[in-house]
Amino acid sequence: MSSQSNARNSLRNTQPPYLHPAYVSTQKRAPLKPLILLPENLSHASGPVFGHETVQASDADLTRQHSGEPLGERILVSGRVLDEEGRPVRGALIELWQANAAGRYRHDLDNHAAPLDPNFTGCGRVLTDDQGAYSFVSIKPGAYPWRNHENGWRPAHIHFSLFGAGILSRLVTQMYFPGDPLFARDPIFNSIPDEAARARLISVFDWQTTKAEYALGYRFDIVLRGEKSTPMETSHP
């Protein structure tokens, strides 16, 4: 095996596969036929720059979107968005969503018997600055049950959706919290074969950004693919 294909294989293990049977919903939804490799010189659509007209500073504070404050542990999440060369991704739109402190989403289809919080929607948006940095204030989401497997519970997480320079840098992921006892049995977290890549989805508690008498700081840095990086090979059954 060439060193290049070794590199590709090790990179492949840093992303989940489509089919991961332990996550039951993948079984009927994962593409099963071989993926087609597009020519390397193909320029992908770049799309417009998103959302700058509509993102407001208040969108980055999920605790101040209602008349009162939400219940829960206030957190300040911050980090940088970089490309594979370590350069800041400036002006990237980050869309966020999460459950409330009780582990309940404000969504018609969430029937978990935990209370809704009238002061929490769980939706945020923020743009990265010239250093690729972002921050937002929220409350720590609760774990919640799901029916994927016997006594299944998702570890607490915040959903992140990011736009970089174009379609290949598009990323949707989940940020987790350190020390969560639910990691070991979570098939979504464990769908990523590479242990270090999984660990990078776990935010780091950070005294530097913890605000005295206000909020606990967590850091979560994100790396987006460049548009011209080597396409990854994906295995199929």
Closest CA to 94 of 47, 161, 175: 161
Site for another protein in 206-235 (CB under 8 A): 222-225, 229, 231-234
Catalytic option among 23, 80, 104, 105: 105
Site for another protein in 172-191 (CB under 8 A): 172-174, 188-189, 191
Q: Kindly state the smallest distance separating residue 190's Cβ from another protein, in Å.
A: 11
53 SS3 class: coil
DSSP structure class, residue 10: H
Q: Kindly state the smallest distance separating residue 39's Cβ from another protein, in Å.
A: 6
4 SS3 class: helix
Residue burial 219-229, b: 16+ Cβ < 10 Å; e: rest: bbebbbbbeee
Residue closer to another protein, measured from CB, 190 or 210: 190
User: Is 113 among the residues that bind another protein (CB under 8 A)?
Assistant: no
Q: Kindly state the smallest distance separating residue 4's Cβ from another protein, in Å.
A: 13
> From CA 164, how far away is CA 49, in angstroms rounded?
9
Judge whether 66 counts as a catalytic residue: no
Catalytic option among 104, 125, 154, 198: 154
Catalytic option among 8, 112, 159, 170: 159
Residue type, 116: L
| Complete DSSP assignment for 182-227 | TGGG-TTGGGS--HHHHHTTB-EE-TTTPBTTTBEEEE--EEEPPT
Residue closer to another protein, measured from CB, 43 or 207: 43
User: Is 197 among the residues that bind another protein (CB under 8 A)?
Assistant: yes
157 within 8 A of 98, measured Cβ to Cβ? yes
Q: Kindly state the smallest distance separating residue 151's Cβ from another protein, in Å.
A: 19
Site for another protein in 13-42 (CB under 8 A): 14-18, 20, 23, 25-33, 35-39, 42
Judge whether 157 counts as a catalytic residue: yes
Angle at the Cα of 115 (from 110 to 120), degrees rounded to 5? Answer: 85
User: Is 103 among the residues that bind another protein (CB under 8 A)?
Assistant: no
Residue burial 161-192, b: 16+ Cβ < 10 Å; e: rest: ebbbbbebbebeeebbbeebeebebbbbbbbb
Catalytic option among 125, 157, 198, 225: 157
Tokens 């992140």 found at: 160
Judge whether 159 counts as a catalytic residue: yes
Residue closer to another protein, measured from CB, 3 or 207: 3
Judge whether 112 counts as a catalytic residue: no
Judge whether 52 counts as a catalytic residue: no
User: Is 168 among the residues that bind another protein (CB under 8 A)?
Assistant: yes
Give the residue, chosen from 69, 73, 110, 195, that forms a contact with another protein under the rule CB under 8 A.
110
Q: Kindly state the smallest distance separating residue 66's Cβ from another protein, in Å.
A: 14
